A and B are shown apart, each in its own frame.
Chain A
């Protein structure tokens, strides 16, 4: 890795590390080549519809720079582009892993990553960059250790500097003195608390005949630890057999997990990702829900609480469509009366699409609202649709399913127009939804025990699951 360049939205460099081994024109040639390549992927320069703006090769090859051929890895965040060029053979994952870490540290330091924030705190960004990357080598990337060396630009620090406490006396005189590399020494909190956020993501493709073509459930446990001293924690779970292919934060004792399936660790201070895992489909059979003959895939179907039927007819210069959504009676969410929220259906229309008009309606299926106030409720239940001209995407949002009856139906009917003679909309409809208070895996936190410290911490666990289901029509 040769260094890092941060570009603003219009492709101008705003912050860059020092490219010591390279002629001064090297970073410039990287930036030019990147902007050039980027402009080629813009929709107006592409013959075909670009599904998403991120079509640029993530490991861009630049055949001639001031230092010979090079590659440039890049990611986008907050409207800014972060480029890492390299003129030597290197693992691009190394770069991406670094970028990811750098961004998360920035996020922690600045709360928000945007042009304005970066400009305001550019000195902090520089200091952090200097500590994190030395001549292309990641140096100190643990945010706990970094905070010993570079002070975050908090209000508190401003007060300190005005009061005349200089940075020198403020930074811990002996950095890296902590016996635990990821945890800074001498942490003190008035209120001792620790929070766990467990989230699971279902990623699935639904075939035309309504069966699951492929599906995966990813899970992760985020943790926010604000505990004093050196707390030694043990977190155990119910249904931990559902964890498969876990990967852990460095603080987790691997052997202990292998033996007891519980997480034993001394946490870093602050926010971190404790664990990521895949949910093994065989472990999600729930209590009485015995395995049906349809096999595991169909078992997972029960996590998709809705059935989508779509009819799309393409005509000349446009077309019409009807989406009908009905509840899946056997689904876990409806059986256990768990709220399903933020159901979003989106359909990418053809590149020539210029507009759409639809009506959304809801039929409660018997219970009936009646009356004018209920009319309003009904309209709300039907959700709202929107046409996004930039992305050529039609989006229909149902904020909450409420508690539907078996025969409730949501319908979106409409037409769209296009400049293309034979429009070709996307072959799939994306459905996103969230189920707070439920995990697909059925994993639950059993208990959290703390040894080595005397105080009683406040503990919090939050669970939620999200799904992105691609329905082919």
Chain B
């Protein structure tokens, strides 16, 4: 046989061959060969459409293999032949009545592939028959055809009563038919504005019963459809959890993850905390098992785990070692693991985590190393008990003199200063010694901030800032802003020394720079300093609120919403899917008497303030955020003042300085202070409100987003601290 079919065929030759094959074609062997050649040519991208009539003529041959190839041809070219398709209709109709169920199904399936009025018109009656066919294979094929037809002509589908017929199929005796009917209805409801799939308890129970005998795909369809069931009581939800729990042992990874999605969903409606804890415990091991699969499945799983553990911190709480990176893990797996390691770390287990991070920071992959250093910094900020050890490791890393490591260290140490004021300033000289390595804007801005902030304690701060501001006019705006603020700080702390420098920089910023932000800020300082230096000191050098890691937690309502997309693209990219993929309806938790208070509050907030639907086909930037920070002019000035003024207000909004940490929450729970109805709810109640639920998603995931085009460039999201 070999590849002989894959030779480029000329239309005339093939036509001739097909015509000649008409004679003495024993068992149609000749025509089979020619048809194979034609299909091979389609595969190669050669246009075979001129042979339409000849190929259609073969439709009447009662050989399955030939029929399949003709149908394959029709699927490819039928749509483009509105004038000639009529020659195929008769054969289609004959095949729809064939005694072989395979052929009946093939015919109706192929017709549904050809969206021409003539074909659609003639398939209505056969489709109706097929939906009631005695053979389940035909029925399940027909169910999917209804969904296809809906894409072309929703009104027709409704008018002909196909939706009702699909609903009837939910009670079919064959589980695969049930599953396909569910899949079709789900798809239709996702495309439709007025048809929504709503399941009541009775139907839901029947579906779950059918699931046991379904194929894995059928199980996924059915599980997915359970999102359309809104439990009215906690017991309903518990019952469903119990019944789908065995699916966690399925070999198909998608079944497992979909089951977890439904469990997470149902838990919003469950009031019994012990029950929820039990479910949470059962979800951990299957998630770990998924990590034994190929890197692709691992990646998807890891991204989902990251979401899940933010909502239910009990899950995988003690399994941080599972996420240690292997050196031959692909980079995307490593980055995802790193993030989870950070999330799972706390006072009791930070030591092995830190040791691992230290290890990673000595590896060769630049992205990974940078991220590891960042994570050490974030660990220090998250876990106070770890700060000392983290600083030690960071200083050790600086000794390597690798420039990108040094730069990362400077950036994170700045954050640590902000978190623990007056504790670690002794390391400043070491940082300053490595100033020459700081070529990137972010690290340069960081060291500038440090020098400005601690101008008093650094003997040669003037000298250092003079050096750094030498290139002021060429620096990126991020650095310029930092320099501007730093020299003002220097002047306020050491008026004699800083005088010349501050006037030089203010002059440059206001006269030689085009950037309005920079210019405005320059004028503001200038005026402030000239009118009332005392007030300037109060404002610029005011006490800054300490930062915390809470900035990078996801807002509860958004989290709940994303978890409805567990396993889907939204959970990979940590964005609401309607924002980057077409034809997606936003999903919300549905209210019911059983919905937990906190979930409801988060939900209400989201519905009020939720983002407007985005135009299809665009990855829209977050809508302009509303600044909901306190309006105290002093504090907002202080915010502005601190150097990296380039940061968008989004960051500032995301900051929640005085909040309970995950882990404290957990600990409180373990100590029996179980006052809340839900483990993630406490903070939702305490939170201030946000304009855009997705505003800090990027931030929440350390920016290892698949959208960043240049992996070496850091996304803003990685920044832990804003100012």
Contact = CB atoms under 8 A, between A and B. Distances in A.
Interface of A: 13-16, 18, 20-21, 47-49, 51-52, 54-55, 57-61, 63, 67-71, 73, 75, 86-94, 96-98, 100, 116, 119-123, 126-127, 130, 134-135, 137-139, 141-142, 149, 161, 164, 166-168, 171, 173-176, 181, 203, 205, 213-214, 216, 218, 244-250, 254, 273, 276, 278, 348, 350-351, 424, 426-428, 430, 470, 472
A168 B43 CA distance: 24
A248 B327 contact: no
Contacts of B367: 48
B366 interface: yes
A351 B62 CA distance: 61
Contact of A87 (B79, B137, B363, B581): B581
Given A130-B68, A254-B249, A69 B289 contact: no
Contacts of B3: 116, 119-120
Contact of A276 (B109, B144, B215, B251): B251
A55 B330 contact: yes
A104 to B, nearest CB: 12
B581 A137 contact: no
B328 A216 contact: no
A235 B69 CA distance: 44
A92 B217 contact: no
A30 to B, nearest CB: 14
A96 B581 contact: no
Contacts of B295: 54, 58
Interface in B277-308: 285-286, 288-289, 292, 294-297, 299-301
A322 B624 CA distance: 60
Given A59-B299, A135-B144, 10 more contacts: A20-B113, A71-B581, A73-B296, A87-B583, A89-B581, A97-B254, A167-B63, A167-B64, A430-B327, A470-B326
Contact of B582 (A88, A164, A249): A88
B300 A61 contact: no
A350 B29 CA distance: 59
Contacts of B717: none
Contacts of A75: 294, 296
A181 B285 contact: no
A90 B568 contact: yes
A278 B293 CA distance: 12
Contact of A49 (B332, B365, B617, B707): B365
B577 A14 contact: no
Interface string B59-95: 0001111001100100110010000000000000000
Q: Which of A18, A21, A54, A203 has the most CB of B within 10 A?
A: A54
Given A58-B295, A248-B249, A472 B36 contact: no
B710 to A, nearest CB: 10
Given A149-B102, A176-B136, A254-B246, A57 B332 contact: yes
Contact of B75 (A18, A21, A164, A171): A18
Chain A facing B: main interface SS: mixed
A134 B64 contact: no
Contact of A427 (B176, B286, B327, B352): B327
Chain B facing A: main interface SS: helix
B26 A164 contact: yes
B249 A47 contact: no
A51 B582 contact: no
B192 to A, nearest CB: 14
A71 B288 CA distance: 25
A469 B215 CA distance: 37
Please list the 7 inter-chain residue pairs (A to B) with the smallest Cβ-Cβ separation, ordered nearest first. A58-B296, A68-B617, A89-B577, A245-B285, A91-B567, A167-B65, A93-B254
B654 interface: no
B538 interface: no
Given A75-B294, A428-B327, A278 B27 contact: no
A424 B213 CA distance: 55
B27 A181 contact: no
30 contacts: A18-B75, A20-B113, A47-B712, A49-B364, A51-B331, A51-B365, A54-B295, A59-B572, A68-B617, A88-B583, A91-B254, A94-B567, A96-B294, A122-B40, A135-B113, A135-B144, A135-B148, A139-B141, A161-B27, A166-B27, A166-B28, A166-B63, A167-B64, A168-B64, A214-B322, A214-B324, A216-B322, A248-B251, A273-B251, A276-B251
A123 B36 contact: yes
Contacts of A73: 296
Interface of B: 1-3, 5-6, 26-29, 36, 39-40, 43, 45, 62-65, 68-69, 72, 75-76, 79, 100-102, 109, 113, 135-137, 141, 144, 148, 151, 176, 180, 183, 213, 215-217, 220, 246, 249-258, 285-286, 288-289, 292, 294-297, 299-301, 321-322, 324, 326-328, 330-332, 352, 356, 359, 362-367, 565, 567-570, 572-573, 577-578, 580-584, 616-617, 619, 706-707, 712
Given A88-B582, A134-B144, A247 B72 contact: no
A215 B707 CA distance: 33
B65 A166 contact: yes
B215 A89 contact: no
A251 B573 CA distance: 35
Contacts of B299: 57-59
Contact of A213 (B249, B256, B324, B617): B324
A18 B112 CA distance: 13
Nearest to B257: A93
Nearest to A249: B251
A134 to B, nearest CB: 6
B35 to A, nearest CB: 9
B71 to A, nearest CB: 8
Contacts of A92: 296, 300, 567-569, 572
Contacts of A139: 141
Contact of B363 (A88, A134, A168, A427): A427
A47 B136 CA distance: 56
A43 to B, nearest CB: 12
Contacts of B366: 47-48
B511 to A, nearest CB: 39
Contacts of B137: 175-176
A37 to B, nearest CB: 10
Q: Which of A60, A138, A244 has the most CB of B within 10 A?
A: A138
B365 A214 contact: no
Contacts of B141: 134, 139
B582 A68 contact: yes
B251 A18 contact: no
A265 B467 CA distance: 77
Nearest to A95: B254
Contact of A88 (B294, B584, B707): B584
Nearest to A20: B113
B1 A120 contact: yes
A223 B231 CA distance: 41
Q: Which of A14, A60, A216 has the most CB of B within 10 A?
A: A216
Contacts of A14: 43
A61 B64 contact: no
A426 B72 CA distance: 51
A89 B584 contact: yes
A423 to B, nearest CB: 10
A256 B662 CA distance: 40
B462 to A, nearest CB: 36
Contacts of B581: 68-71, 87-89
A248 B247 CA distance: 10
Nearest to B356: A213
A184 to B, nearest CB: 14
B43 A96 contact: no
Q: Which of B65, B285, B584 has the most CB of A within 10 A?
A: B65
Nearest to A60: B706
B43 to A, nearest CB: 6
Contacts of A87: 581-583
Contacts of A137: 144, 180, 183, 217
A47 B285 CA distance: 38
B280 to A, nearest CB: 15
